[in-house]
Amino acid sequence: MLEFCKKAMGRYTVNHLSVKDIGNDIYEITLIDAAESGRSTGFFINSEEKTIVEVGASVSVPRILQALDELQIPYDEIRYVIVTHIHLDHSGGAGLLLQSLPNAKIIVHPKGARHLIDPSKLIASAQHVYGDSFQRLFAPIEAISEERVIIAEDGMSLDIGQDRPLVFYNSPGHAYHHIVIHDPKSKGLFSGDAFGITFPLFEEMGIHYVVPTSSPTQFNPEAMAQTIERMKPLGIENIYFTHFGAWDHADKVMDRMLTMIPIYVELAEKAYKNNPTWESIASELRNHYHTELKAMGVPDDHPYFTSLELDTELNAKGLLHYLETR
């Protein structure tokens, strides 16, 4: 499995271009997450019913509009905007984006719709967590009128034209309001956070590295594994990660995730027994990441290890919450 992670797929380079053709009429748009470019991706599907998948925070909206400009796509031709879940790094800019897309409707999990219509609870929660940084990272978060919201029921199929259905699946594990989107034409899956996250900075060393994301507060390892198992029979070849970019060899991504999910729980339980804090869990995760990456040729003092720190902290906090509430 480490050899799979180490293999350079050749489909992504860290050049932070606004938009990149990744085949099958899908374009990858580099977004901004945690004030950094190259941590998040949105996708544009250039079908008859033109569709955007993932928005990011409001700071990313100019990136999306710039991508449409580069592709010479009129804003009024966008029909659908899809968010995999309502965490602000995926959906925070949706309301602002729709102000520029007059004919677009947004598609979201049934449990997430009300928070897009009235984002006051999302705003209050984010302000509590991020304090003075909220304005810089996420503002503004704009409401979306109810008539522009489409509920993605489990198994819903949406024809976006040119014989191209998108199929939506409920995908708990990372969050209970999470969906993944199967695109049979590309044999691809827009995975949100359900199939883990990648670290594109390691691409410069020819290393593909993916780990689960267990950020608080709804991480459920059993549900995450069930979501992945449910997708296996669909014949998926490509994973379109929000964090970050397109990978092939989807079967190996799934196997990697199914291996890592119980390891996360084991590491968290080990740390919790000795010291029930998120910091102790983060230390176990950090050691595991470093051991794997060193085995793949990353020097122990390499500055790219700092790119793991934000996610290490978030994963540890989510694992702590899971252990204390399961």
pLDDT digits (tens, 9 = 90+) for 131-141: 777 777 777 88
Q: How many CB atoms lie within 10 A of CB 125?
A: 15
Confidence of residue 127 (pLDDT cuts 50, 70, 90): confident
pLDDT of 125 reads: 76
Mean pLDDT of 246-261: 92
pLDDT of 38 reads: 59
Give me the phi and psi of 46, to 5 degrees please: -90, 65
pLDDT of 149 reads: 97
Strand-pair partners of 20 = 28
Handedness of CA 88, 90, 95, 97 (dihedral sign): positive
Confidence of residue 36 (pLDDT cuts 50, 70, 90): low
Mean pLDDT of 126-134: 72
User: Of the candidates 198, 165, 171, which has an alpha carbon nearest to the alpha carbon of residue 184?
Assistant: 165
pLDDT above 90 (res 123): no
Mean pLDDT of 158-176: 94
pLDDT of 303 reads: 73
pLDDT above 60 (res 43): yes
pLDDT of 5 reads: 41
pLDDT of 8 reads: 29
Percent of the chain with pLDDT over 70: 92
From the options 3.40.50.620, 3.30.70.2500, 3.10.450.50, 3.60.15.10, give the CATH code of 2-257. Answer: 3.60.15.10
Q: Where are the domains of the chain?
A: 2-257
Residue bearing the bigger pLDDT, 148 or 296: 148
pLDDT above 60 (res 15): no
Count the helix, strand and coil residues of the chain and give each as a percent rounded to the nearest 5: 45, 20, 35
pLDDT of 199 reads: 79
Both structure tokens of 179: 């969906």
pLDDT above 60 (res 37): no
Confidence of residue 158 (pLDDT cuts 50, 70, 90): very high
Residue 8 burial (10 A CB sphere; 0-12, 13-18, 19+): middle
Measured at the CA of 43, the angle between CA 39 and CA 46, to 5 degrees, comes to 160
Confidence of residue 12 (pLDDT cuts 50, 70, 90): very low
pLDDT digits (tens, 9 = 90+) for 173-214: 999 899 999 999 999 999 999 999 987 777 777 788 899 999
Query: Please, what is the average pLDDT of the chain?
Result: 87
pLDDT above 50 (res 16): no
C-alpha distances out from residue 283 to 115, 194, 268, 321, Å: 34, 24, 10, 16
Q: Which of 131-135, 244-248, 301-305, 321-325 has the highest mean pLDDT?
A: 321-325
User: Of the candidates 185, 198, 196, 200, which has an alpha carbon nearest to the alpha carbon of residue 237?
Assistant: 185
pLDDT digits (tens, 9 = 90+) for 44-59: 999 999 999 999 888 8
CA distance 16 to 13: 8
Percent of the chain with pLDDT over 90: 60
Both structure tokens of 1: 């499995």
Confidence of residue 73 (pLDDT cuts 50, 70, 90): very high
Residue bearing the bigger pLDDT, 13 or 126: 126
Measured at the CA of 174, the angle between CA 6 and CA 212, to 5 degrees, comes to 15
pTM recorded for the entire structure = 0.88
CA distance 215 to 237: 26
